[in-house]
Structure formats: structure tokens, C-alpha cells
Amino acid sequence: MKLISWNIDSINAAVEHSSARGEMTWETLQNIATMAPDVVAIQETKLRPTGLTKKQATAIEELFPEYHKFLSFSTARKGYAGTMMLTKEAPVSVTYPEIGAPGEMDQEGRIITLEFAEYFVSTVYTPNSGSDLARLTDRQAWDDAYRMYIQSLDEQKPVIFSGDFNVAHQEIDLKNPKTNHHSAGFTDEERVKFGELLDAGFTDIFRYQNPEAENIYTWWAQISKTSKINNSGWRIDYYLVSERIKDTVKSFEVIDTGARKDHAPIMIELEH
């Protein structure tokens, strides 16, 4: 069973592919489709509350024919956040949970959960604390609420969940930990909360399989001309699973996106 997760940073940019970066985004999406994954989880769709446009829907259908498609939109701000899941197998149920997060976070389309017979498969786009950490307090409240939500799923059956968690957990998970110590995504507060999520009974698959691996990242800053060239990245995209099924995951891969910066897709394969 193959699963792929990716922060696409705008479905529209991919479908229109009217810029060099948009073309690379579209090529990455096409590459994902050729891999024929069983489940695709996409974050930061940036769709309007009305959903996919006709052109977008047609493009997705042509790439992923016969997939079941589920979308969650931001109703708080147009063209912001949002998630989508595509799956070959019809789920038993689909939920778009509100977890009791502060402010408008629950209205930003950040979580989709699919229930299957043996497990839950969920995706999340975790709120960013902001460049000036203005949202850090709310982000900590989100982390607590999200952990409780995932634990509630885990009490029913194992959970496989992925997404852009907007945090590099350890110094080994970013190129420049010292200069970024108090930056959004690498504050002590965010790292502690991610550790609490793992301690609640979940496994970071990449780090479990590669405990000492360095220089493996999933995000490179767009504003830096050399971030990808120099591999000055962060590992902030994860596949996490309930501890009791961690050894059913056969492999983890960061999918190569060439010169394209921002997020790279990640993929796992499980025994099924």
C-alpha cells in the first residue's frame, strides 16, 4: 500500500502552470499520479469555499481517474489553507473535524480523516506560528487539541497521518538550527509539543527508520535563491503512525522535485 503526502502550495498554480514554478508544481503532481498511490494527501490547496473550478476539477480527474476525492476548504479566508485527499478505495466514513482550536483555525479546512476497515488515514496542515510568532500561543493550543483528537482516533483503531506539521523536531531536522532557534517552526515551544505528540503513542516513520540520517529535508525557502542548491532545508513534513503498526511501514521516501523549492512530497509503503 503506497501513500503520498504533499503541501502543494496552491492547486490553481499547479493547474494553470503559467510560471516556471507553476510548471514545476504541475510536473510534480503529474509524477505523483504516475506512481498510482493508494492514497494522496494534499495540504495548502488554497481553494475558494466554492471548491474546485471546472478547469481544476477536470485536471484532477484526468490525473486521478476513478479516485474518490474529498476536500476541505477555508471558510474563514478565501484562497487560504485547505486540504484534499484522493483514495482508490472508498472509505467507510469521511470527517472534516473541528477540534476546538482557537480563533479561526477550525474554519481553515486543515484536517480530513478517512476511516477504513483496519485504520484511519488522516491529513493535517498545521497552522504556522508566523514570522513574528504572533500566533505561537494559538499554535500551542492547536497542538494540544490536535494531539487529543489523534489520540481519540487511536483509541478506536490505528492511525496513519501525514502533512505539513510546520515544525522541525530536532536540530538534525534543519540545516541551520542555531540561527533559527527562535524562528517559527523551530521554537522550543513547538518542538516540545511535537515531542508530546510522539510520546502520546505515535512514531515519526522517517526518524524511526533513519535515526542518524542528516541533510534530509522536505522544505526549502522560496525567498532564498540558494536554499535548494545548498540544501539549506527543513524537515517539517511527516508521516506518523500509531506505534503498534510502525513495523508494517516498509519504506519512506522524499520525492525529488528537482529545482523546485518549497515543499517536496513524501511517500511511505506499508504491508497490506
Cell numbers that stand for 144 in this block:
494540544
Annotation-wise, does 262 bind a ligand? Answer: yes
Instruction: With beta carbons less than 8 A apart as the criterion, state whether 204 and 169 touch.
Output: yes
DSSP the chain: -EEEEEE-S-HHHHHH--SHHHHHHHHHHHHHHHT--SEEEEE----BTTB--HHHHHHHHHHSTT-EEEEE--SSSTT---EEEEESSPPSEEE------STTGGGS--EEEEE-SS-EEEEEEPPP--TT-TTHHHHHHHHHHHHHHHHHHHTTS-EEEEEE-----SGGGBS-TTTTTTSTTS-HHHHHHHHHHHHTTEEEHHHHH-TT--S--SEE-TT-TTTTTTT-EE--EEEEEEGGGGGGEEEEEEPP-TT--EE--EEEEE--
Annotation-wise, does 164 bind a ligand? Answer: yes
173 is catalytic: no
Give the CA-trace dihedral at 185, 212, 5, 11, to 10 degrees. 50
Annotation-wise, does 38 bind a ligand? Answer: no
164, 173, 204, 237: which is the annotated catalytic residue?
Answer: 164
125, 149, 217, 238: which is the annotated catalytic residue?
Answer: 125
Annotation-wise, does 247 bind a ligand? Answer: no
Annotation-wise, does 44 bind a ligand? Answer: yes
125 is catalytic: yes
96 is catalytic: no
Annotation-wise, does 176 bind a ligand? Answer: no
Which amino acid, one-letter code, is at 270? L
Known binding-site residues equal 7, 44, 164, 166, 262-263
Which positions are annotated as active-site residues?
Answer: 125, 164, 263
Known binding-site residues for Mg(2+) equal 7, 44, 164, 166, 262-263
